[in-house]
Amino acid sequence: MLIDGKVALVTGGSRGIGRQIVETFLENGAVVHSFSRSAGDDLPRMQETYGSDRLIHHAVDVGDEEAVSAAVTRVLEQSGRVDILVNNAGITRDGLIMRMSTEDWRSVMDVNLGSAFYTARALARPMIKQRSGAIINITSVVGLIGNAGQANYAASKAGLVGFTKSLAREVASRNVRVNAIAPGFIETEMTDRLNGDQRETLTTQIPMGRIGTAEEIAKVCVFLASDMASYITGEVITVGGGLAM
Ligand code: NAP
């Protein structure tokens, strides 16, 4: 029970890595608010297991500034505080730059980077006032090393790195920690789109020789959210089987 009694807000909790973070936080004693457009299949199941007072789903498009602001206000009314914020929601709209539409650029920036700004801005003041908080931004190895066909995605994820370090410096003296996790290739719907050949080529580039699991990201997330990481801020922890070392 690493985060027993803590209140967490996780974006993109309906599927993939976010869904696993929600479950791992519940297993470790937290009350979890999840922001995503849909509840998916798993959030209702987890509500049955852990109770609808422990897991609250908010139907929110995190790229919509006003919707995020209203939902954060609801969370603070319901739980009185937020101790942990995980900015995990993310999308891809891949394409070579010559063919990338402005819409594909903007939607990726809004959902992947804008959302972290909207949630963190809304929660910075309450966290500073309570003199504690942990913010974790889910970036990507692609934000560190780039990837052809993902200029929008890589820019949004590199942006999250600068955002993490700047915010960490702003709030460190008030005991609010801000860190990022950069996953490598993780088995989720986002990577399901890769065909067999792409998967094989990718796997040969990973020193550990395999794609990672959502559990392997969620474990690092609960560590960073907990007091075990009480002196860690402004860091980007790569969890990628050695992919970006
Ligand atoms: P995923 O399986 O596609 O799930 C994405 C999650 O984000 C879903 O819960 C989705 O919920 C939510 N989401 C998407 N657009 C949203 C919006 N506009 N408003 C609210 N929620 C939204 O993706 P994943 O693989 O778990 O990725 C999670 C995070 O890890 C992303 O930030 C991704 O960039 C990062 N990452 C993933 C990998 C990987 O290999 N999988 C590697 C590096 C980094 P709804 O559709 O219900 O809204």
Per residue in 90-112, pLDDT tens? 999 999 999 999 999 999 999 99
Taking alpha carbons only, the member of 92, 46, 115, 100 closest to residue 190 is 92
Alpha-carbon distance 109 to 63, whole Å?
9
For the beta carbon of residue 196, count every other beta carbon within 10 angstroms.
7
The model's pLDDT over 168-213, given as tens digits with 9 standing for 90+, comes to 999 999 999 999 999 999 999 888 888 888 888 889 999 999 999 9
Alpha-carbon distance 138 to 167, whole Å?
15
Q: What is the pTM of this model?
A: 0.98
Kindly give the distance from the C-alpha atom of residue 12 to the centroid of ligand 1, in angstroms, as a whole number. Answer: 6
Stretches where the chain sits below pLDDT 50 are none
Would you give the distance in Å from CA 208 to the centre of its chain? 24
Q: What local confidence, expressed as pLDDT, does residue 65 receive?
A: 98
Provide the 3-class DSSP secondary structure of residue 40: coil
Does the annotation count 153 as an active-site position? Answer: yes
Domains of the chain: 7-238 (3.40.50.720)
Pocket, ligand 1, Cβ cutoff 6 A: 11-18, 35-38, 40, 60-63, 88-91, 111, 138, 140, 183, 185-186, 188-191
Provide the 3-class DSSP secondary structure of residue 117: helix
Q: What local confidence, expressed as pLDDT, does residue 190 receive?
A: 85
Pocket test for ligand 1, best of 21, 55, 91 (most atoms within 8 A of CB): 91
Alpha-carbon distance 98 to 121, whole Å?
34
